[in-house]
Amino acid sequence: MKPKLLLLLVVYASLVSCLKGKIETPNTDGSYDPALAVNYTLSQLNAEVPPEAAPFVIDSNWTIAAIVSANDESGNYHHQLVVQDSAAGMTLKLNADNLYNTYPIGRKVYIKLKGLYLSNNQGTPELGGTPAPDRDGILQVSEIPSKSISEHLIAANKNNTLKVVELHMKDVQSARKDLCNRLIRITEAELVNPNYDNTYAETSATTSIQLQDCTGNTISLRTSNYASFQASATPWGKGKIAGIYTLYKGSGQLSIRDTTDLQMGTVRCDGSTQSASKFISIDSIRKFYKGYDTIIGNYTLKGIVTSDALHRNFGSGNIVIQDGNKGITVYFGSSATGLPDLGDSIVLNIAGAILTKYAGALEIKNSKASKCTVWSKGKSPIPITITIAELNANFTNYESVLIKILNAKIAKAGNFSGSNTLSDATGNVILFTNSTATFATDAVPTISKTYQGIATPYNSTYELKIRNPAIDIY
């Protein structure tokens, strides 16, 4: 063999040997710690947090060691890890999915800070990539690109014990920067009525519900609508709750990792315990109202939906239900979805909802569509036939009830939108149509007809609302 070729082979063999040494991977059983040199702490980093909308790049060769306290396993965090050491915490924004596979809770990580950006997001410190405007136009850090994550985040051993700061609710009534991004446990908490035995979040948006202690101190529990437990029932009782503490516009809030962070018993501050829901009539519920907002106990209503969401004359998030000759409006929220349709016979648990007046009409608000069960379809109560004089004389008795008026007409030509005067031989009443109704621009009939509709007050004005002309005017 030629000497030059032999020399090349020797050099090649040496390079391969060196490369093998450099790329050899550590143990993957979770016990390996690369023991990187640490020269900075999360407390020191938090002391550098800039004012809002002023993120800056870290240009020092700082390395921090921390433990993962929250990840994306339940979906309540997305493209984020929260890490902490013995004295402080930090949120990391990362452009990667299923982070929990590599970074389970309790895993030690080293963070190489040089080249990352530090920001203040409404009071909560965050580490991430190149800043960009958020939806409000405020400059915040972006997610660290997936290809760069391994340059800054080095996984070490698993199953490390997390320090949990135990506090009373009163201890977090003022904004606590020292607790930001840390795992805390509040020792006495219960969900404020009507948030217990409800869902953790709305289906359409991240939701805040209130926790309280027995002396009235409160904190918000923040849950993403993408969390795997979004539709789960919140606990009834009182107990301990753990979660990551963050700040938002000067107020503290808590986010749980999953529902195991709540350890709540059965006895609330007022001594009440959860019991089976009782059926109650709409007539009885209406009698609960004494002129002020009233929290409803553990009751269930049944009735037939008489309003028609399809033709949009009753507002978003509303239904009107009727049981016998009594009716009531139920408001689920303007963004609520999956509401029952006209003619559906429903069972609705209203525990913790509020009985209130809105623009003169009695309604149940803060109920949840998830607590509504449709057990049959295509039903309709028989409209009560009355004169307009009888309606005006006893409007409260007919409020939210499907009624029928014979031989009535609208004297003035025009369209349905807004207020039209409907008359029979005994008197007048306003026929009101929302401008958003599908038939709002249709022409009104000007000859005598039978009118069906739901009696609906608007402050001191008595009104009748039809569902749609095809079924209510003939």
The sign of the CA dihedral 288, 292, 297, 300 is positive
135 class by beta-carbon count within 10 Å (0-12 exposed, 13-18 middle, 19+ buried)? exposed
303-to-19, 158, 315, 348, 380 alpha-carbon distances in Å: 75, 55, 20, 9, 10
**171-186 as b/e: b if 16+ CB within 10 A:** bbeeebeebbbbbbbb
> Quick one: average pLDDT of 345-371?
91
**Residue 340 DSSP symbol:** P
CA atoms of 37 and 341, how far apart (whole Å): 64
Q: What is the DSSP string of 258-304?
A: SGGGEEE-S--TTS------EE--HHHHHHH--SS-EE--SEEEEEE
* Residue 2 pLDDT exceeds 60: no
* Domain residue spans of the chain: 42-155, 165-264, 278-376, 384-472
User: Quick one: which H or E segment has residue 433?
Assistant: strand 427-433
Q: What is the DSSP string of 373-388?
A: EEEE-S--PPPEE--H
Give residue 10's pLDDT: 37
Determine the straight-line distance between the first and last CA of the chain, rounded to whole angstroms. Answer: 107
Cβ pair 214, 250 in contact under 8 A = no
> Quick one: average pLDDT of 253-279?
86
* Residue 141 pLDDT exceeds 60: yes
Q: What is the three-class DSSP state of 12?
A: helix
Q: Please, what's the largest Cα pairwise distance for the chain?
A: 121
User: Quick one: which H or E segment has residue 127?
Assistant: strand 124-133
What CATH architecture applies to the domain 278-376? Beta Barrel (2.40)
> Quick one: average pLDDT of 366-377?
88
Give residue 4's pLDDT: 40
> Quick one: average pLDDT of 297-313?
92
CA atoms of 152 and 150, how far apart (whole Å): 5
pTM above 0.75, yes or no: no
**Which CATH number does 384-472 carry?**
2.40.50
Give residue 294's pLDDT: 86
- Among 28-42, 181-195, 241-255, top mean pLDDT goes to 241-255
Would you state the structure tokens that stand for residue 144, as one six-digit string? 């660290």
Percent share of the chain, pLDDT over 90: 76
**Residue 415 DSSP symbol:** B
Q: Which CATH class is domain 42-155?
A: mainly beta
Cβ pair 374, 415 in contact under 8 A = no
CB neighbourhood size of 1 (10 A):
6
CATH superfamily label, 165-264: Nucleic acid-binding proteins (2.40.50.140)
Give residue 266's pLDDT: 73
pLDDT digit string, tens, across residues 162-217: 999 999 999 999 999 999 999 999 999 999 866 666 778 888 889 999 999 999 99
User: Hunting for tokens 């002023």 — which residue is that?
Assistant: 54
Which pLDDT band, with edges at 50, 70 and 90, does 29 fall under? Answer: low
Cis status of the peptide bond prior to 133, with omega within 30 of 0? no
Cβ pair 410, 431 in contact under 8 A = yes
- Among 23-32, 184-193, 366-375, 390-399, top mean pLDDT goes to 390-399
